[in-house]
Every structure is written in structure tokens, then in C-alpha cells.
């Protein structure tokens, strides 16, 4: 009996331990730290890279400008007198340099659809792509990445140009998809093949930080592996500008004078940004560039207050405390807060009071006053995108360990409505290093929406592995400290490196080659492996390709430029090679070469087994599909070689130490020939993704609907006449189809016969338009299903031509029988 009781107690004790471990695991998952691994932006002042943004933040002046020429509506309503009904007294804001340009073919859109597409969606596509590249995540649509998209957006003014009050002829099927808020997130997921949540958020000025909050929750729940968080805001219509001026919300000079005595309203600004998040432990294992750590987020609402658009101090305190609790951070550890700080006489004092109550005098043990600032005083208030502009600023600050000046000497006195002598909150007028009084570099970021929805996030500087003690995660894999050991192995002298570059157009490839060559030429041995790994594994392979090998950065750069000059860039449309693998079984040279490959790539070559099988497994891991080939002493000139129409390339020779270099050369040739390789498997021990390498050089073309004066009862343009002879030869019919589709797509260049209808931007609407033309010209019916098959355009048009000619012959035969 005692034995049974003892066994029962032991079993219960084991169960209790398992349950406690599971509870601990769930708690850790709920509050798991997240990593910011990629950023991208389009901000006023021509700022298009994080590096340029940081230089701007450390400089002087603002990025405001007059109303651009292509915004005639904004210019027309301007009147400097502040009391004119229906007018705006503001003629300056933070405008983007170019919102009309877009690389429609890159994203698989026709020029017709892209022209109707809200430029906010276009810029979100660009920045989402760039952020993923900076994170080193190759976006292969067919891979269906488990990535979520969370976008803050509050206006869609561009599509108004398609629908004048008394003329609706400009509205087509792209009116709904071009401007709908839901499409801002959904289109990114569709174009890039993401399968996680796709959510567009509109809480006015807090939209993008609320989107960040939702992304953090989704990552921690395991709904996605990567999260793209975006924010967008453009000032295209005069209507909201007039409304804000009528309520006197805007500063007459168009500038946010945050925390100053001159605060008299906010200045508007445009901007688009995107960041990529993932769980910190996964980012470390994958060698991603951890730019900052997201510790906690919180969202709430003002509730019952003195007005819907009036800020609520107690609610702001509550959201601050909730974010600190989610982050597991003490109030006195926060050294800086990027404030909402719109520069209004009402909002600024309320916000500083809330910050002081929680993080200033309300934080026992604070070593020195809390520093605050707001980039709105430099860029303008980017409304729905303001949270992203502030987020990327804080990420840069934490990464560099430096706090830019919040105000300049010319910005005047601080706001006298704020009791600066009684609060532990300070505004820096000079850039400075992060205060040494704080053991951790922790920052907060606030956004308060006009809707009453508030958001706050807490971030911390990422401490590299060398600064942390070794730890092991729950799976038993070594974490940051283990990575530090591997990093020391990067940069082996004399190792042959492989660099691959590609683009959808020869022009873009040339630009990319020059940018990458400039970076590689100055790279030292300790950086080279990581640079090459990032370019190989962190970029999506496209049609136009170039690949070279070399032992130094300068050698790789020179070979890239030489290859480009000699026309050595390949086009995968010539066909994907499937090489033959020829080996000499039992060859001691083969065995020695495979051992050398195993030493260079231990994770790719299995231990034990026959050398030829180990070699096949290596190639399989790299995505190299091979065909069987005759074996034996007379079948190959080398112990092992790959051969296809592009030539014969040895994988082994008399010197086994050359095997890794021979493999790199063969892979370069295969890549250039169009092989679908998985070169992320070549990541050498210690190599990490480099986040500041050149991103894709888009071929931006102006796609723009001009503002127009409504025209009542405007009739649609007549359909152009076409030749209708049923006896035309196939070539004439194909020519007719080419011309018709090109016109419908509004394509400026000839259509590429090797691309599919969908790749050219075709969809059900475009297919319907073309079938109507065919039916009108040839008096026959064409099934829409023909357009949905995944075949090259040339094949599709040949089938349609055959259908047209066959139908014409049938009609002719029927007419002859009737006669």
C-alpha cells in the first residue's frame, strides 16, 4: 500500500512539474521579445534610406516645402487669410519628392491597374519589399511565406480623381481595389505570397503603432513567422486640408513647433514606411540583423472625455503603464520617449504631464530627467504614418546609442504652459550620447489618434552576443553567445566566395551591379562572407542574372563590372538547366574532394556513405536537380563534374582542396543559366545577414491621374476600329492580339512573349476587355478560362489565333453549305 501511495505521489509530482513548465513556456511566449530586423522608408526631404534618415536627424533644419506643382487642388484652395470659408491657409508641408513614379511590371501589375492604384499602396509595396531585403528574407511568391502584414492608413484621396461629381466615366473595376483600405495590406500579401494575417488599421494618427501592436500579438501567438508593419500617408486632396484649417488645427506656417512657446497647431506631412519583425530567438538563430528589440506594446482609448478629439491625460498614463508591464521594464529604466508631440497648445502640456506622472517624477529611482523629443518638428505630422517615422527614428537611436537634438537654438523658448521646473522631463537642444546613467538603453514611443485610440511601445537596444553570457534556448540550441563563437570563424583567408545578383530588367541589373560592386570593393575579409551570404540568400532570383567568384571583395567587384561590360549577365528565359552529374565511383580523388566539401559545408554533406551519394545529397540541398549519366573511367575527364548545354564544370580534380572553389564556380554558372538554386544553405559558420546592402533598384515610371474639372455627361471614348477579315493568317491575328492587350494594359513597351498573362498584370477584368475586342472583331466567342492557364503569352496567343481561324473556317463552311 505504501509503495502504491509513493508511486502516486511521484506521478503527481512529475505532472505538476510538467504543468509548471508548460505555464512558464506559455508566459514566456506571451511576452517574448521581438526583433526589428529590417526597415525601409520614403520621407520628406528626399529621404529614401535609413542611413539618409539618420544623417538628417543629426543635422539641422526641416524637410518642409511648398505645395508641389502636381497638386493643383491644394494650390487652388490656398488663401493666406485664416477665416475664409472653403479655403486653406497653409501652403507648406512635408511633401514627398515623387509619389507618381512606380515600377508596375516588377510587382506584376499592368500600367492600367497601376495608374488607378492609390500611390500609398504603391509605396507600401516598395517599402515592404525593401524592408524584407534588408532583413535578408528572399520573397519567393511560390514559397508562401508565413508572414503577416499590418498597415496603418487613414485616407485614400487619390481615387477621387476617377469619380468627378457629375462624371463617373472614369470609374472602372480598379476603383474599388485601387483605393480601399483593406487592399493596402491585402495587396502586399497577394503580391508577395504571404499567408499570415493581412490587416489594415485606421485609428487616425495612431494607426501605424496600433498596427505594430497587432503584429506583436500575432508573432507571439505564432500566427506568423515574419510581420511586415507599414504606415502610409499622402496629402493629395484639398478637402481634409480645408477641414483642418476650418477647425484651426493646423499651424499657419505648416510646422509642428513641439514643446515650444510658439506652438500653434500641427503641420502636415507625407510619408511611407515599413519594418519587419520576428521573434528575437528566431532572428538570432537565422543570423538576421537585429536593429532593436521590441519589448512591449499597449493600446487603449480615451473613453469618456471632454471631446472626441481632445487628448485625455489619465488614459495616456494608463497606456504607458500597460506598455511597461507588457515589456517587463521599470519606469526608471526608460531614458527617452519619442513623444506624439504635435505642437499644439492643448496637447503638448497634457502629454508631458502624463509622461511625468509615469516616467518622470512618478518613477522612483530615476537617475536623471526623462528626455523627450518628436520628429514631427522636422518632418511634419505624418498622421497615419507618424508612428512608423517615430519607430524607425527610435530604432536608429538605439542602434547608434545617440539621441538627436529635439529642438534647435532657433526654436525659441519652451512652452510656458508646461511646468518644466516641477517635472522630471527635459528637451535636449543638442545631440548627445545615450546617458551613461542607464544600465540599459530603453526608449518609449507614443501615438495618440484623433479617434481617441492611444498606443505606446517600449524598445531596447540589442546587446550583441559578445556582451551577453552564454545561454541555451529551450530547444537546446546555442543562442547569442554560441553565435559569437561562430562569428569569429568568418573571413577565412583565401576562401573562394560566390556572389549572385539578379533583376527583372537589364537596366535594373546594371544599377544593382554598380551599387553592389561599390560596397564589395571596400569590404574587409571579416565582412566578406556575410556580404556574399546576404546577396546570395537574402535576395529573390529574377530573370536577368550575373554571378562571379573571387577571394577578395575587390576581386569580386572587378569581376562583376567586367562581366556586365562583356554582356555576361544571363537571362533565365533560355530555360532552366538540369545538369548531368558524372562521377568516377571508387575514385580516391572523389572521396578526398567530398571530404573537403564536407569540411567546408558540414551541414550539407552527410557523414558516412559512398562519396557519390554524399555529393548528390550536397547538390540536392543546394537545389541542384541532376540527371543520371554514364559512369566509369571513360565517361568523364574528372572524378566528378556537372555538364549541361552551358558547358562542363568539374566538382573534383587531383587537388581535393580545390573542391569548394570548383563547386562555387559550377553554382555561379548554373545560377546565371537560370537554375532555381537554394543558396541560403551555403551560409558559412558565423555569417550574418548584413542589413545595409543595396536594395532592388526599381525602374520607376510616372503613372498618374491628373486632377480634373468635372464634365457632365461625358461620353465614353469610341472603340478603335480593327480589321475583321476572318481569313487572316495566324500571324495577323497574333499581331492583333498583341496590339489589343498592349493598349488595354496601357503598356509603354512591347509585351514579353515569354511571360504569362498574369505576370504581365493581366486579370479577369483585362481578360474580359480583350475577349470583347476579339468578339467584336471576329464575331466569335472566346472562353475566359484560356487566360488563366500558366503558359507563356506566345502560347496563349497561338491558341487564341487557332481558335479564331477555326471558328472562321466553320462559319465559312456553314455559309457554303447554305448556298
Query: Using CA atoms in the order 513, 518, 522, 524, what is the torsion angle rounded to 10 degrees?
Result: -30
List Cβ<8 Å contacts ≥24 apart for 767-771: 769/744, 770/737, 770/740, 770/741, 770/744
Three-class SS state of 650: strand
Residue 652: its H or E element: strand 647-652
Taking a C-beta distance cutoff of 8 angstroms, is the pair 212, 390 a contact? no
Nearest to 687 by CA among 538, 515, 804: 538
**Cell numbers linked to 401:** 546609442
Scanning 289-344, the segments in alpha helix (DSSP H) are 313-327
Residue 230 CB contacts under 8 Å (≥ 6 apart), including other chains: 124, 127, 128, 149, 150, 151, 152, 184, 185, 188, 208, 211, 272, 273, 274, 388
- In the sheet that holds 580-583, the strands lie side by side as 580-583, 640-644, 647-652
- Catalytically active residues, by annotation: 205, 340, 381
**Cell numbers linked to 517:** 560592386
Return the exposure string of 434-459: e unless at least 16 CB atoms fall within 10 Å of the residue's CB, then b: beeebeebbbbbbbbbbbbbbbbbbb
- CA distances 747 to 102, 393, 740, Å, are 13, 39, 11
Return the exposure string of 487-508: e unless at least 16 CB atoms fall within 10 Å of the residue's CB, then b: beebbeeebbbbbbbbbbbeeb
For the beta carbon of residue 173, count every other beta carbon within 10 angstroms.
Answer: 15
Q: Where are the beta strands (DSSP E) in 47-165?
A: 65-66, 92-93, 101-102, 147-153
Taking a C-beta distance cutoff of 8 angstroms, is the pair 148, 172 a contact? no
Amino acid at each position: 500500500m505504501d509503495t502504491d501511495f509513493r508511486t502516486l505521489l511521484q506521478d503527481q509530482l512529475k505532472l505538476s512539474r510538467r504543468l509548471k513548465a508548460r505555464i512558464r513556456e506559455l508566459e514566456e511566449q506571451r511576452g517574448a521579445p521581438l526583433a526589428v530586423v529590417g526597415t525601409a522608408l520614403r520621407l520628406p526631404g528626399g529621404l529614401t534610406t535609413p542611413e539618409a534618415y539618420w544623417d538628417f536627424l543629426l543635422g539641422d533644419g526641416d524637410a518642409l516645402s511648398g505645395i508641389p506643382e502636381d497638386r493643383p487642388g491644394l494650390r487652388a484652395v490656398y488663401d493666406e487669410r485664416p477665416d475664409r470659408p472653403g479655403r486653406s491657409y497653409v501652403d507648406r508641408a512635408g511633401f514627398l519628392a515623387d509619389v507618381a513614379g512606380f515600377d508596375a511590371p516588377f510587382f506584376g501589375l499592368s500600367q492600367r491597374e497601376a495608374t488607378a492604384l492609390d500611390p500609398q499602396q504603391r509605396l507600401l509595396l516598395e517599402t515592404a519589399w525593401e524592408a524584407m531585403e534588408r532583413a535578408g528574407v528572399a520573397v519567393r511568391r511560390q514559397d508562401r511565406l508565413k508572414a503577416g502584414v499590418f498597415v496603418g492608413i487613414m485616407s485614400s484621396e487619390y481615387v477621387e480623381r476617377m469619380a468627378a461629381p457629375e462624371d463617373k466615366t472614369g470609374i472602372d473595376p480598379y476603383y474599388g481595389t485601387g483605393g480601399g483600405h483593406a487592399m493596402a495590406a491585402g495587396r502586399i500579401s497577394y503580391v508577395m505570397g504571404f499567408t499570415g494575417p493581412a490587416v489594415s488599421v485606421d485609428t487616425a494618427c495612431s494607426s501605424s503603432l496600433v498596427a505594430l501592436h497587432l503584429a506583436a500579438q500575432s508573432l507571439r501567438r505564432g500566427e506568423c513567422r515574419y510581420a511586415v508593419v507599414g504606415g502610409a500617408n499622402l496629402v493629395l486632396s484639398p478637402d481634409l486640408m480645408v477641414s483642418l484649417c476650418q477647425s484651426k488645427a493646423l499651424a499657419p506656417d505648416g510646422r509642428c513647433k513641439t514643446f515650444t512657446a510658439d506652438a500653434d497647431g500641427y503641420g502636415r506631412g507625407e510619408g511611407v514606411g515599413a519594418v519587419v519583425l520576428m521573434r528575437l530567438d528566431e532572428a538570432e538563430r537565422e543570423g538576421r540583423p537585429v536593429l532593436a528589440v521590441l519589448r512591449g506594446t499597449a493600446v487603449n482609448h480615451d473613453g469618456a472625455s471632454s471631446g472626441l478629439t481632445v487628448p485625455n491625460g489619465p488614459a495616456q498614463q494608463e497606456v504607458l503603464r500597460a506598455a511597461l508591464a507588457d515589456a517587463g521594464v521599470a519606469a526608471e529604466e526608460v531614458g527617452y520617449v519619442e513623444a506624439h508631440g504635435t505642437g499644439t497648445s492643448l496637447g503638448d502640456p497634457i502629454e508631458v504631464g502624463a509622461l511625468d506622472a509615469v516616467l518622470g517624477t512618478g518613477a522612483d529611482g530615476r537617475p536623471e530627467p526623462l528626455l523627450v523629443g518628436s520628429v514631427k518638428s522636422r518632418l511634419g505630422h505624418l498622421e497615419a504614418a507618424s508612428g512608423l517615422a517615430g519607430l524607425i527614428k527610435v530604432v536608429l537611436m538605439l542602434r547608434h546609442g545617440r539621441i538627436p537634438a529635439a529642438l534647435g537654438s532657433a526654436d525659441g523658448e519652451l512652452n510656458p504652459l508646461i511646468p518644466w521646473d516641477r517635472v522630471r522631463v527635459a528637451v535636449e537642444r543638442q545631440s548627445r550620447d545615450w546617458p551613461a546613467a542607464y544600465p540599459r538603453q530603453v526608449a518609449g514611443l507614443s501615438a495618440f489618434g484623433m479617434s481617441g485610440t492611444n498606443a505606446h511601445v517600449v524598445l531596447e537596444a540589442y546587446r550583441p552576443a559578445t556582451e551577453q553570457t552564454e545561454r541555451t534556448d529551450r530547444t537546446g540550441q546555442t543562442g547569442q553567445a554560441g553565435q559569437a563563437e561562430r562569428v569569429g570563424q568568418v573571413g577565412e583567408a583565401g576562401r573562394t566566395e560566390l556572389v549572385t545578383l539578379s533583376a527583372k530588367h537589364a537596366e535594373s541589373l546594371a544599377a544593382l551591379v554598380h551599387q553592389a560592386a561599390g560596397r564589395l570593393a571596400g569590404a574587409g575579409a571579416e565582412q566578406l562572407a556575410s556580404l556574399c551570404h546576404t546577396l546570395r540568400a537574402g535576395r529573390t532570383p529574377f530573370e536577368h542574372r550575373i554571378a562571379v567568384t573571387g577571394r577578395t571583395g575587390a576581386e569580386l567587384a572587378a569581376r562583376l563590372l567586367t562581366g556586365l561590360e562583356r554582356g555576361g549577365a544571363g537571362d533565365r528565359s533560355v530555360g532552366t538547366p538540369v545538369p548531368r552529374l558524372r562521377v568516377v565511383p571508387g575514385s580516391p580523388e572523389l572521396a578526398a574532394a567530398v571530404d573537403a566539401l564536407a569540411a567546408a559545408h558540414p551541414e550539407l554533406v552527410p557523414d558516412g556513405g559512398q562519396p557519390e551519394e554524399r555529393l548528390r545529397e550536397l547538390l540536392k540541398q543546394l537545389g541542384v536537380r541532376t540527371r543520371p549519366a554514364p559512369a566509369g573511367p571513360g565517361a568523364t575527364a574528372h572524378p566528378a563534374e556537372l555538364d549541361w548545354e552551358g558547358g562542363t564544370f568539374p566538382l573534383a580534380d587531383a587537388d581535393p582542396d580545390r573542391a569548394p572553389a570548383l563547386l562555387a564556380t559550377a553554382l555561379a554558372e548554373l545560377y546565371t543559366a537560370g537554375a532555381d538554386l537554394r543558396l541560403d544553405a551555403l551560409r558559412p559558420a558565423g555569417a550574418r545577414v548584413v542589413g545595409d546592402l543595396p536594395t532592388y533598384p526599381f525602374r520607376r515610371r510616372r503613372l498618374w491621374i491628373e486632377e480634373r474639372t468635372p464634365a457632365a455627361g461625358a461620353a465614353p471614348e469610341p472603340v478603335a476600329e480593327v480589321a475583321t477579315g476572318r481569313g487572316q493568317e495566324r500571324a495577323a491575328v497574333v499581331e492583333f492580339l498583341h496590339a489589343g492587350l498592349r493598349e488595354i494594359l496601357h503598356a509603354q513597351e512591347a509585351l514579353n512573349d515569354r511571360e504569362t498573362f498574369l505576370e504581365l498584370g493581366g486579370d479577369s477584368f483585362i481578360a474580359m476587355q480583350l475577349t470583347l475586342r476579339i468578339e467584336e472583331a471576329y464575331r466569335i466567342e472566346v472562353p475566359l478560362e484560356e487566360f488563366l492557364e500558366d503558359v507563356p503569352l506566345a502560347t496563349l496567343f497561338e491558341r487564341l489565333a487557332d481558335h479564331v481561324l477555326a471558328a472562321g473556317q466553320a462559319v465559312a463552311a456553314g455559309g457554303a453549305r447554305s448556298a
